[in-house]
A and B are shown apart, each in its own frame.
Chain A
Amino acid sequence: MAGEAKTILAYSENPDTLFELLSEARELAGKIQGEAAAVLLGEKVEANLEELGAYGASKVYIVENPQLKGFQVEAYTDALYGVAEQVKPELILIGATKRGKELAPRLAQRLKTGCVAECVGFEVADGEIQMKRIVYAGKVSSLQKVKGKPAVATVPPRLFEKRKAEGKAEAVSLQVEVKAPKAEILEVKPKEVSGVRIEEAEVVVCGGRGIKSKEDFKLLGELAEILGGQVGCSRPIAADRGWFTEWVGLSGKKVKPTLYFAVGVSGAIQHVAGIRGSKIVVAINKDPEAPIFADADYGIVGDLYKVLPALIESLKKHLKKG
């Protein structure tokens, strides 16, 4: 198929992320006189061609194989590599879920090509696609170009909006070799996912290690409710203590509210990297040496268990209508 239109392939095991990637791929394809295509992989695949077409796919490449039951990165690398070998795309976009982030570099290694992880934007200069990513804990934006073909890039979920437009997709079934993976999935324990999009909240009240019990997050909830915001937590609260499933920070959710409260959060650089887009950052911490104060606009040194109730009372008084 080489020599035909330039193709931007989009793949994500998450359907919504795939739609977002396709929407962006369609726009990007327009700038390089190419077309966007989706890849669907699985033991059995049901392709909604109308929907995929509306979100931007001209073609939908389908690989069905018994080895693609469950997400096994070795098998998915085989499948995607097989598709890339036949389609010869310019660029392969993969959703930067954790599964996507382990698939993309393995695939890129097999394709002997460069991969840009967690791209936050694309630019086209002289017909070439350049990719932007954030490095050094959020301090630096780096514009990069992949030298060979195809380029591989991962794109964070919910970075781009899914946009419907006129379009029809054509299904193409591909036969590719998929070997039995060496790994075996023994058990999957789903997490309770809140479904709240903290990335879009105007006010975020985030709790850290200074919060003594899960119950105490009610206090943060109260403050968030008064301000019409959302509650979040830092990585130790979610990943160590397991009280929540998602956290704010470099390795979790990046937030950009108008007002951000860091309550009992020490302010590790990885946490600060996730809140850099905030307009005003307020820190409440009993340790005057906590690094968060250097990355906050306003701070109160004090016991959060005294400061929060007083702040809630004060805001109730000040924000009362009339």
Chain B
Amino acid sequence: MKIVVCAKYALDPGEIRIDPSGKPMLDRVPRKISDIDKNAMEAAINLKEKHGGTIQVVAFGPESARDGLKELLAMGADEAYLVVDPSDGRLDTMATAEALAAAIQKLGGFDLILCGEATIDGYAGQVGPRLAEKLGVPQVTYARSLTVEDGSLIAERDLEDAYEKVKVPLPALVSVTREINTPRIPTLMAILKASKKPFTLWKLEDVGLSREQLEQLSGIELVDMQGFAVERKRVVIKDKPVEEAVEELVSYLFKEKVLGA
């Protein structure tokens, strides 16, 4: 089976600070592989263990994404491909899907594309369905379990009001939820081995695209960004007998006028 995992080296929202004027400070925010992409990676490994085949990781992002993709190689991917985004993340999901599709097409055919239900930074969940449409394959979103049999994929989807079991012929694209598995943490040995696995850096031109083309395609224009600085009081009561701690808490809550009328 030929499996492609799409990953994003995303800004870690936990590290984003808001400046006094209310603007988010996005420079030098640490990045990491979006958590749910690791679930997609784990799902890919499980399928490979059962059915054999290859796992290729494809990403569109800054050159520094190499560090994150190494983690996925250490988890069990065979090869990683990074298409460098020259725009510093200003392109929208349509441009991202275009770049990923071009890279995947350059890699030849695929049986299954796996991605996370959304990424931790933007949480839009658009790239998966856009990529499926662009490549002309069916999509299965919000999968919390999946199996492959006789060229078809069966997945259980987690919708708000129901669990839905669906069957699609391969090739297909599947987005997974966090609950599908627990991503493995690579061993030191696996991390060392990963540095020898094939890693390919592509410029947009290498996949037949250009920056101008993607900028024109990108459908969203950012008008303004405003940060919400929610400052909590962080009063922590500890090392006190339970009754005493509770009385202290209740007196705070009365002072805040949030108890009773």
Q: Judging by beta carbons under 8 Å apart, are A116 and B123 in contact?
A: no
A182 contact set on B, CB distance < 8 A:
137-138, 168-169, 172
- Given A102-B129, A293-B234, A298-B249, A276 contacting B93 (CB threshold 8 A): no
Contacts of B117 in A (CB 8 A): 251
- Known contacts A182-B138, A185-B164; can you find 10 more A-B pairs with CB under 8 A? A98-B141, A98-B159, A105-B125, A139-B13, A143-B223, A143-B224, A187-B165, A188-B162, A259-B258, A311-B250
Q: For the complex, what is the distance from the CA of A78 to the CA of B237, rounded to whole Å?
A: 58
- Would you call A200 an interface residue if the criterion is a C-beta within 8 Å of the partner chain's C-beta atoms? no
Q: Does A113 contact B (CB under 8 A)?
A: yes
Judge whether A297 is part of the interface by a CB distance below 8 angstroms: yes
In the bound assembly, the distance between CA atoms of A138 and B16 in angstroms comes to 11
Interface of A is mostly: mixed
The listed residue (A74, A103, A136, A235) touching B16 by CB distance below 8 A is A136
B238 within 8 A of A: yes
Contact with A188, one of B125, B164, B219 (Cβ below 8 angstroms): B164
B250–A293 contact, CB under 8 A?
A: no
Are B129 and A297 neighbours in the complex by a CB distance under 8 Å?
no
Place the interface of chain B in its size category: 35 or more
CA distance A315 to B260 in the complex (A): 10
Chain B residues with CB under 8 A of A300 = 236-238, 245-246, 249
- Given contact pairs A186-B166, A296-B234, A140 touches B125 in the complex (Cβ within 8 A): no
Among B18, B127, B139, B253, the residue within 8 A (CB) of A298 is B253
CB of A274 to closest CB in B, whole Å = 11
Given A136-B24, A137-B120, A293-B234, A259 and B259 contact (CB-CB distance below 8 Å): yes
Could you say which of B16, B177, B222, B242 contacts A302, with CB atoms under 8 Å apart?
B242
Question: What 1/0 flags go to B42-75 for Cβ under 8 Å of A?
Answer: 0000000000000000000000000000000000
For A259, list chain B residues within 8 Å (CB).
253, 258-259
Contact B259 A318 (CB under 8 A): yes
From B166, B219, B220, B245, contact of A307 by CB (8 A): B245
Nearest CB in chain A to that of B154: its residue: A186
Interface assignment of A45: CB less than 8 Å from any CB of chain B: no
4 pairs of A and B residues whose beta carbons are closest in the complex: A114-B219, A301-B238, A137-B13, A105-B126
B242 to chain A, nearest CB (A): 5
